[in-house]
């Protein structure tokens, strides 16, 4: 019996991966190399600084920590410009009706995301009010596949891990949910999300 539902943000509630991609690609192009959509797959579910490390690895470039912080900042400013234009129309199919259904059945709803922009995005999508707990990149110190983000979310809902179900689109996120002792619904392709208890293509399927 599910008492709490914990959602990843990027790729589950909204497709922000395309904006992350545009922002990282623009940074790469300034640094003089190409960054493809296939490369971008490696950044899904990965923190901002780790994403930058992967990007620089692809470009075979090295920088000091201070330079890297400045680059990550620059990428984020561009990303925030994109997401400040988000609105409800960009909610992925089925999200609002599924959240409403959970809410009406008294199920706790939490966000478990690595993004430091999570609250801003929930506001833009006009769904912040539906969440009983928001655990984002500002609250968490260990990145997925570490279970920390989901364990804090279940605590904030006042529930045991085993009472919660995680919704995830990234391999590292599925692993984090399983490591937390939760059931995991993978959103995406079974080839990538094999560790999940079931895999669906989106919340509209539920
Ligand atoms: C999510 C996304 C990643 C992103 C990370 C940090 O996990 O899937 O692509 O890098 O959040 O997001 P932020 O908004 O803090 O840069
Ligand atoms: Mg995701």
pLDDT tens track for 112-168? 999 999 999 999 999 999 999 999 999 999 989 999 999 999 999 999 999 999 999
pLDDT tens track for 61-111? 999 999 999 999 999 999 999 999 999 999 999 999 999 999 999 999 999
Buried/exposed code over 196-205 (b: 16+ C-beta within 10 A; e: otherwise): beebbebbee
- What residues does the ion ligand 2 have nearby, CB within 5 Å? 8, 10-11, 45, 169-170
Q: Which two tokens stand for residue 115?
A: 């993004």
All residues at 6 or more sequence positions from 67 whose CB lies less than 8 Å from its CB, including other chains: none
In DSSP terms, which residues pair with 166 in a beta bridge? 6, 184
ipTM of the complex: 0.98
**Does the beta carbon of 164 lie inside 6 Å of ligand 1?**
no
To the nearest 10°, report the CA torsion of 41, 46, 51, 55.
Answer: -20
**Does the beta carbon of 16 lie inside 6 Å of ligand 1?**
no
pLDDT tens track for 16-54? 999 999 999 999 999 999 999 989 888 888 899 999 999
State the DSSP H helix or E strand holding residue 11, giving kind and residue range, or none if neither. Answer: none
* pTM as predicted: 0.94
Q: What is the pLDDT of residue 1?
A: 81
Looking at residue 32, what DSSP letter applies?
Answer: T
Q: How many degrees, rounded to 5, is the angle at CA 200 between CA 164 and CA 54?
A: 85
The residues annotated as belonging to the active site are 8, 10
């Amino acid at each position: 019996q599910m008492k709490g539902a914990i959602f990843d943000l990027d790729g589950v509630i909204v497709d922000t991966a395309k904006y992350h991609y545009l922002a990282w690609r623009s940074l790469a192009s300034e640094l003089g190399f190409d960054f493809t959509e296939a490369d971008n797959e490696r950044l899904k579910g990965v923190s901002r600084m780790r994403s930058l490390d992967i990007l620089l690895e692809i470009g075979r470039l090295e920088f000091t920590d201070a330079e890297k912080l400045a680059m990550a900042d620059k990428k984020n400013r561009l990303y925030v410009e994109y997401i400040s234009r988000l609105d409800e129309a960009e909610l992925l199919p089925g999200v609002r009706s599924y959240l409403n259904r959970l809410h009406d059945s008294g199920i706790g709803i939490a966000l478990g995301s690595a993004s430091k922009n999570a609250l801003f995005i929930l506001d833009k999508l006009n769904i912040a009010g539906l969440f009983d707990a928001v655990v984002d990149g500002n609250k968490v110190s260990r990145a997925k596949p570490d279970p920390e983000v989901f364990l804090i979310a279940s605590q904030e809902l006042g529930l045991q891990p085993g009472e919660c179900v995680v919704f995830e689109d990234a391999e590292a996120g599925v692993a984090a949910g399983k490591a937390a002792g939760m059931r995991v619904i993978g959103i995406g392709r079974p080839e990538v999300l094999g560790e999940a208890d079931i895999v669906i293509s989106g919340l509209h399927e539920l």
